[in-house]
Amino acid sequence: MPSLFVAQMKLHDLVQKLGGEAVGEVALPLAGVATIEAAQPDQITFLANPKYRGKLAQSRAGAVIVAPGDRDATTAPRIVTVNPYAYFARVAQLFNPAPVYPPGVHASSVIHRDAEVAPSASIAEFVSIGARAVIGAAVRIGPGCHVGDGAVIGTGTRLEARVTVYHDCRIGANCIVHSGAVIGADGFGFAQDEGAWVKIPQTGGVTIGDDVEIGANTTIDRGALDDTVIGNGVKLDNQIQIGHNVVVGDHTVIAGCVGVAGSARIGKHCQIGGAARILGHLEIADGCQISVMTLISKSISVPGTYTSVMPFMVHAEWLRNAAHIRHLARMADQLDHIGKQKK
């Protein structure tokens, strides 16, 4: 990664680039972002939740991003905007721009003569790219990646080190794929025959939209016949498993270690907590929130938050109580019986 220069900006530079209203101005330019507690005079922070107003008074931050309702919560130089946290994220991007890699193919890499690699793409060490693959403009392929035959990597997308994209899979523009991710391995499809399992060829692909981020060691299987589809703006954390023919709707976020079984359809703008599991062949409506470690075992048509968490206890307490789950039906029967006797 080339070394990054440190940007220096005043509030008027920020509002010029990102909008919002500057109230006051810093004396010296800002050099970065930080939390309310850690910010120094050359850093800008943000106040997204009015309950932290008290901390603002003690902050050493040179400036702060606030919502209209907190416009007068401080006398420090500030930017007023409707969504301080999102604004903060964009300011952080300005101070920490994505790395820019030199165009060209490293001498150690092996590019099939029938692959198309844009001149502005940057191909690192030990990359292998198959026949008919298409690598778009300003793409970065990190060290040790493999891009299979006929795969397509869209403009501005970055594969970090050691990513695998199997043949004929398509990744959109401006995506980030972290190390160890595997896109397009075979879906898990077998037919049973006299006790043994016969492989069903997985002949679909994977289609990934634009502005998608895929975490380290996440796996997205290719479809059995049709494609597995990841929508635009989807954010997948690390170690997620997406089965064949799953569809994930636009702008859905999925936390680490989630498993989605084959042919599940997850709506748009969903939020799925870590280590949740979605069974196959079901549908989850747009805008659902699935809690951490929750198993969704049937379709959900009404947006909302859904949970199947077992509460944790001191182990001795758990020993006393959990065993009774095995007798809940009998307990319910006893209660019914008592209720009827009273009538």
Binding of a second copy at residue 11 (CB under 8 A)? Answer: no
The 295-314 site mask, x for binding a second copy (CB under 8 A), equals xxx------xxxxxxxxxxx
Cβ closest to a second copy, residue 27 vs residue 310? 310
CA pair distance 97, 42, nearest whole angstrom: 18
Closest CB 137 distance from a second copy, rounded Å = 21
Closest CB 119 distance from a second copy, rounded Å = 22
Region of 7-15, 22-30, 60-68, 315-323 interacting with a second copy (CB under 8 A): 315-323
What values do phi and psi take at 159, rounded to 5? -100, 120
Closest CB 96 distance from a second copy, rounded Å = 4
Site residues for a second copy, 266-285, by CB under 8 A, read 269, 274-275, 277, 279
Region of 8-16, 52-60, 71-79, 215-223 interacting with a second copy (CB under 8 A): 215-223
Q: Which residues contact 124 (CB under 8 A, 6 or more apart)?
A: 101, 106, 109, 140, 141, 142, 143, 144, 145, 161
Type of residue at 185:
A
Cβ closest to a second copy, residue 72 vs residue 335? 335
Give first-to-last CA distance, the chain, whole Å: 78
Would you please indicate which residues are annotated as catalytic (active-site) residues?
A: 244
Binding of a second copy at residue 60 (CB under 8 A)? Answer: no
Cβ closest to a second copy, residue 24 vs residue 228? 228
Site residues for a second copy, 64-93, by CB under 8 A, read 83, 85-86, 88-90, 92-93
Site residues for a second copy, 20-49, by CB under 8 A, read 33-35, 38
Q: Please enumerate, as own/partner, the contacts of 64-72 that have beta carbons within 8 Å and a separation of 24 or more.
A: 64/36, 65/20, 65/91, 71/23
User: Can you tell me which residue has the tokens 């077998």?
Assistant: 190
Closest CB 326 distance from a second copy, rounded Å = 6
Binding of a second copy at residue 332 (CB under 8 A)? Answer: yes
Site residues for a second copy, 161-190, by CB under 8 A, read 161-162, 164, 166-167, 176, 178-180, 182, 185-186, 188, 190
Q: How far is CA 14 from the centre of its chain?
A: 27
Region of 8-16, 50-58, 115-123, 257-265 interacting with a second copy (CB under 8 A): 257-265
- How many residues bind a second copy (CB under 8 A)? The answer is 126
- Mapped onto helix, strand or coil, the DSSP state of residue 12 is helix
Site residues for a second copy, 101-160, by CB under 8 A, read 106, 108, 110, 124-126, 128, 130-131, 142-144, 146, 148-149, 160
Type of residue at 342:
K
Region of 7-15, 53-61, 68-76, 326-334 interacting with a second copy (CB under 8 A): 326-334
Helix (H) or strand (E) holding 182: strand 182-183
CA pair distance 223, 187, nearest whole angstrom: 6
What values do phi and psi take at 274, rounded to 5? -55, 140
Binding of a second copy at residue 264 (CB under 8 A)? Answer: no
For the four alpha carbons of 148, 153, 156 and 157, in that order, the dihedral sign comes to negative
Residues in the chain: 343
Binding of a second copy at residue 57 (CB under 8 A)? Answer: no
**Single residue of 103, 216, 282, 283 touching a second copy by CB under 8 A:** 216
Binding of a second copy at residue 241 (CB under 8 A)? Answer: yes
Which tokens in the block code for residue 169? Answer: 């899979």
What values do phi and psi take at 164, rounded to 5? -115, 130
**Single residue of 102, 338, 340, 343 touching a second copy by CB under 8 A:** 338
Closest CB 75 distance from a second copy, rounded Å = 25
| Among candidate residues 299, 294, 249, the one with its CA nearest the CA of residue 275 | 294
- Mapped onto helix, strand or coil, the DSSP state of residue 153 is strand
Cβ closest to a second copy, residue 120 vs residue 291? 291
CA pair distance 130, 213, nearest whole angstrom: 23
